[in-house]
Structures are given as structure tokens and as C-alpha cells.
A = this chain, B = another copy of it.
Amino acid sequence: MALATRERILEAAGGTLSRNPNASLDQIAVEARVGRATVFRHFESRAGLLKALAGRAIAETDRATRLAAADARTATDALRLITQAVVGAGESFRFLDSAAELYDEPEIVEAYQRQMSELADLVEATRREGFIRPDLPTAWVVASIDGLIWAACRAVGDGELGVVQAQDLVWETIADGLSTEGAREDRDAE
């Protein structure tokens, strides 16, 4: 039971915080159908809960990265798998909008920077495969991917797109952009 309760609290916290970034522990406890005291039995403090939640998101991303590295034959394919995995797990990340406090947690900040740096390395690798345009700064490529993933998660959360649809669209947009000016001319030979 203990584990189930802890999990239920984390789940509720993720959901509630993604809807209302400043939700109180009261609201989270209610959402989790749990007494507020129980939240403190499982987590040291509000910061501890946030930290656990962030740790979960980081672990999930790491897992997706490992799977992608195992399955993909090219860096480009790995980038695609990771991107789509993160969009799929988007609900686990939306709470981060609110989590300015997490910038005070060295562990979390470090893990986040590590993942960003891994992403940058992966982007470099895809660049060597000829996937990424050589004239784009890596910082911008990483930022764009981040922004598009965020947009996709938002669109899914708002019910504007389905998860699978969003996963496909993110990758298409990364690869080809939004305009007809290039990609589609290749494909459709207009």
C-alpha cells in the first residue's frame, strides 16, 4: 500500500500542478484522495515532493534515451525516438512550468544540464549524418526541439491533437518546417 500511496500522490501532484502551477499541498492531497499529513509521511516537504517529481521525469527521459540508443541505427533515428518518447510522456513534464523552485536543487539542475548536453551531442551527431543544416547553431537546434516538444505537449494537453498525431507532427516539423518551400517540393515534385 505504501508504494501505491506514494505513487498516487506523485501522479496527483503532476496532474494538479500542470493545471495550476501554484497548487497547494491541500489541493494535491485532495486530488490524490489522501490526507495532507500523508503527503508529509512520504515526502520531506513540498520541495521534496517537487524534487521527486522532477527526478521521475528525468529518469523517464533517461530511460527513453537508453531505449532509443539501443534501437536506433542512426543518430537521426535516435533523435526521432527520443523526441517522440518525450512528447508521449509529456504529461510528466508539464508541471515543470511551475517549478522555478527546482533551480535551487543542484541535483536536478545538474541532471537537466546533463540531458541538455546529451541532446546537444546527439544533435551534433545527426549533423554529421547530414540531417541538421550546417548553418544552424546547435544552441538554436536544441532550443527549437525543446520548443516544439513543449508546443506538442501543450496541444495534446489542450485536446487539440492526439498523442500519436503530435508525435508525428513534431518530427515532421523538425525535419521539414512548416512551409511548402522545400520538403514538399521534394516529395510531391510540384
Contact = CB atoms under 8 A, between A and B. Distances in A.
Interface string A148-190: 1111101100001100011001001111111111111110000
A169 B136 CA distance: 8
Mostly, the A contact residues are helix
Which residue, A147, A161, A183, has most C-beta atoms of chain B within 10 A?
A147
B131 A179 contact: yes
Contact of A136 (B132, B160, B178): B178
A102 to B, nearest CB: 11
Contacts of A4: none
Nearest to A179: B175
A130 interface: yes
Interface in A122-140: 130-134, 136-137, 139-140
A24 interface: no
A137 B178 CA distance: 10
A181 B173 contact: no
A60 interface: no
Contacts of A143: 151-152, 154-155, 160-161
A141 interface: yes
When A and B form their complex, which 10 residue pairs have the shortest distance between CB atoms, in order from nearest? Answer: A182-B182, A147-B151, A177-B177, A182-B183, A147-B147, A143-B151, A139-B160, A176-B177, A175-B179, A143-B155
